[in-house]
Structure 1
């Protein structure tokens, strides 16, 4: 039995789908089970990272765990609670989604430290583990969809800074490989796409996909922080988001690795492929 947390999310949902398609026994954990229509072989259970009893029930009888916590200041607490529940339940393997740059000494980037406690908890115990550190997800561009549908420019808080934007489907495939084999035990995999891309680069690709220009507009970091706080986000979260944008703008995440290809035996998907596959999200109804 493989327990999948974040089972209604972009990566977690794909992990559930891929595992079920391979005939694995899957238990999908979510705070709202009604959001999942269970496929054959998928058991849906309720689990809340802030309710230890629910985590114990979700982990009971599982042999492996896919651990994905929603980004935010609560990640360390949630990771540690889920890992403790997994250990108590006799789970033997954990594949954790972390973030590129976790634990690195970068004075202007703090977001990676959200995952540091969870990584350390795995490394310090007897569990078999694989840590995935993906770069920025291609699916983040879906946040621009309403603006693009209205013909408005997309906001750019990162200047010309480039990242190895990765397709979340590739992250899910790597996770499934790690969950179902022993090849990548006690390994840290940094997952990127095949090319470094800036926000203007991504906008250009989306424009080519849609057959019309997609423009960008620079957003000062001070204004970006104000927008996040005004939207109801914790000021501490806003600070970390701003730090992340500043790091990218300064070239701090302009890296590519071969880990996706090494695990999957093929090149990672391009952003152009992702854009073509999600074209309808950017088209007015």
Structure 2
């Protein structure tokens, strides 16, 4: 049995799908399992990474676990708790989803969000693998409403370039690490084959869709007002602003060969992802 936390999220849902396709037994942790739309044969477990009791119950009988536990600066203890719950339940192998740049002091507080969970994994005595993906290609789905309307989509990153990675590649590597002990004790930084700015991604989309995809470059002041209006704390907003500036200034202009080395093929490009998801941007 393999437990997948964050089972309806960007990576977790794809990990579930790929494990099922391989014939593995899968248990999916979800806050709302009745509406989770899980593949046939997947065992649904109700719970949340912040509810330790539900996590421990879901871990029972699992041999491996995919851990997704950080959604903000206040989740460090819960992230560590996922690892502790896995160890207590007798789980043998864990794969932790982290983030590129973890530990980089230039990222400020955001660079520390995953540190506690990463260290807990390394200290756990279990077979562990840590994945540090770059910006997901699927992040541009936030542009869908604007692209459908033909209005400018928000660009938070200025001209900063990132090694945009396809979530399917990240999930494929997670599945490999869940099933193969040869990945134990490794930390992988996962990127696509090239770095792209938001405007370059928009140009790719425009070429595929056959119509313009304009962007509105959100100013720092606009961004801060948006974050505060969304109810985020000053601390959380500050952390995200530092991260945005880091990317705008080229801090995430990074490409690694880990995806190709691990999968034995080139990493998928943003164009490949966009071609496969063009229908999401189509006008009604």
TM range (shorter): over 0.9
Residue 58 (structure 2) pairs with residue 58 (structure 1): yes
Residue 236 of structure 1: CA displacement? 2.5
Q: Is the 8 A contact 1:24 1:41 kept in 2?
A: no
Counterpart of 2:152 in structure 1 is 153
Deviations 1:5-62 (A, max 9, x none): 0001111011001101101111101111112244343111112222221111100111
2:200 aligned partner: 201
Counterpart Cα distance in 1 of 2:113 and 2:269: 27
CA-to-aligned-CA distance 1:87-109 (integer Å, 9 cap, x gap): 11011111000000101232x54
Task: Quote how far apart the aligned CAs of 1:64 are.
Answer: 0.5
Q: Structure 2: how far apart are the matches of 1:122 and 1:147? A: 40
Equivalent residues, number: 284
- Give the TM-score taking structure 2 as reference length: 0.96
The within-5 A match list for 1:106-185 is: 106=106, 108-185=107-184
Query: Contact (CA 8 Å) 1:134, 1:166: kept in 2 or not?
Result: yes
- Residue 114 of structure 2 aligns to a residue whose secondary structure is helix
Cα separation, 2, equivalents of 1:110 and 1:145: 30
Is the contact between residue 23 and residue 41 of structure 1 (CA under 8 Å) also seen in structure 2? no
1:12 aligned residue: 12
Alignment of 1:82-101 (within 5 A): 82-101=82-101
Aligned partner of 2:34 in structure 1 is 34
Aligned residue for 2:101, secondary structure, equals: coil
Q: Does 1:189 align with 2:193?
A: no
TM-score between both structures, scaled by the size of structure 1: 0.96
Evaluate the alpha carbon distance shift between residue 38 and residue 215 of structure 1 in structure 2; reply closer, same or farther with a 3 A threshold.
closer
Moved more, 33-42 or 128-137: 33-42
CA drift at 1:142: 0.4
Q: Pick which of 44-53 and 119-128 moved more.
A: 44-53
Tell me how far apart the structure 2 counterparts of residues 257 and 237 of structure 1 sit (CA, whole Å): 29
Deviation of the 1:143 alpha carbon: 0.5
Q: Secondary structure at the match of 2:65?
A: strand
Unaligned runs of 5+ in 1: none
Aligned twin of 1:284: 283
Name 1:257's counterpart in structure 2: 256
Deviates more, 1:228-237 or 1:118-127: 228-237
Aligned equivalents of 1:136, 1:156: Cα separation in 2: 14
The alpha carbon displacement at 1:183 in A equals 1.9
Q: Deviations over 1:132-161 (max 9, x none)?
A: 000000111000110111111122222211
Query: Is the contact between residue 161 and residue 250 of structure 1 (CA under 8 Å) also seen in structure 2?
Result: yes
The aligned counterpart of 1:22 is 22
Task: Tell whether the 8 Å contact from 2:166 to 2:269 is kept in structure 1 after alignment.
Answer: yes
Q: Does 1:270 align with 2:269?
A: yes
Q: Is the 8 A contact 1:155 1:218 kept in 2?
A: yes
SS at match of 1:94: strand
- Kept in 2, the 8 Å contact 1:206–1:275? The answer is yes
2:238 aligns to what? 239
- Counterparts of 1:40 and 1:199, CA distance in 2: 37
Contact 1:94 1:128 in 2 (8 A): yes
Q: Is the 8 A contact 2:11 2:168 kept in 1?
A: yes
**Structure 2: which 5+ runs fail to align?**
none
